[in-house]
Amino acid sequence: MKLGVLGGGAWGTALACASVRAGLETFIWAREAEVVASINSDHENSMFLSGTALPEALKATADLGEFQGADIILLVTPAQHLRSMAEALKEHIQDTTRLVICSKGIEISTGKLLSDVLAEIFPENPVAVLSGPTFAVEVARGQPCALTLAGSDEKIISEIASAIATPTFRPYQSHDIIGAQIGGAIKNVLAIATGIVSGLDLGENARAAVITRGLAEMARFGDVFGADQETMMGLSGLGDLILTCSSTQSRNMSLGKAIGEGQTFSSLMSGRKSVAEGAHTVEIVHQIAIDKGIEMPITAAVYKILKEDMDVTVVMNDLLSRPITLE
């Protein structure tokens, strides 16, 4: 089988490495000419995954036409660019090509899950979601991980899982494509919150509280959209939440930590090459929570800090001063 990766960032590069290890003919598409050159010439993505050796069998391209022969395509573009990239890809693939969403977020302009975006553009293609607790550098190095591979067609999901699985890259199958996306999107917002807690030096007790109460927010949000609570407690929910909220390897947690330490959101975003998806996702999640009456105070706090430029200490004090209720 031939597998193509759409997106030459750290996560796309890591997934391409996993695909090569699974024995698939693999190529990766990148927008940046320097990324393509670096992968092909030096077997390294010096821009987004510097210092990590890549398999020599991995090839990079800037030509979307390469996707014409792909059996599986992993879509690893930033969530807010998925629609435009999918539209550009459309003319190059067949209706039978399996599309796997590996981005995490909700489309801000429409409030739609990414699977719904793809369904508009590729109504005939099988669509799946790959999500879970993973840091790109560890996956690229071949260290063990487990993920959720979700989709509505059990046979196709099983075929994709069998194709990409290795002893150190373990995709567990699920039918809950909604829950897998909601967990991956909201955990990024919560990771910013735990980063702020860390930056303010509020302690590990506070971080554990934010993770736990954040999980309750994730579950409430998922329930409104019909996600399975089992998914929220699984790899693409609780698992991803724990990892992303526990290390500054997470772009979202590191962003929150820097804000808690006193840096401004605007200056941090202007100096970043990689995307902290939670900084975008918080806008639409907060709006949906208001529209549908979902209680999400931690998400609201992150929104106030990032989008309304409210004082971090004031917002966190307000959060800690909320009435004590039943758990």
Catalytic residues: 187
User: What distances in angstroms separate CA 136 from CA 76, 91, 109, 218, 241, one per listed residue?
Assistant: 12, 30, 28, 23, 15
User: What distances in angstroms separate CA 302 from CA 155, 190, 282, 319, one per listed residue?
Assistant: 40, 8, 7, 10
Contact 186, 218 (CB under 8 A): yes
Give the DSSP per-residue string, 45-80: -TTTSTT----TT-EEES-GGGGGG-SEEEE-S-GG
Beta strands in the chain (DSSP E): 2-6, 25-29, 59-61, 72-75, 98-101, 127-131, 145-150, 169-174
Give residue for tokens 């706090």.
Answer: 301
Contact 23, 36 (CB under 8 A): no
How wide is the angle at C-alpha 262 spanned by C-alphas 261 and 265, nearest 5°?
Answer: 110
Residue 194, token pair as written in the block: 């735990």
Instruction: Tell how strand 2-6 and strand 145-150 pair up.
Output: unpaired
| Residue 223: alpha-carbon gap to chain centroid | 20
CA distance 5 to 15: 8
Q: Which amino acid is at 75?
A: L
Per the DSSP assignment, residues forming a β-bridge with 101 are: 75, 129
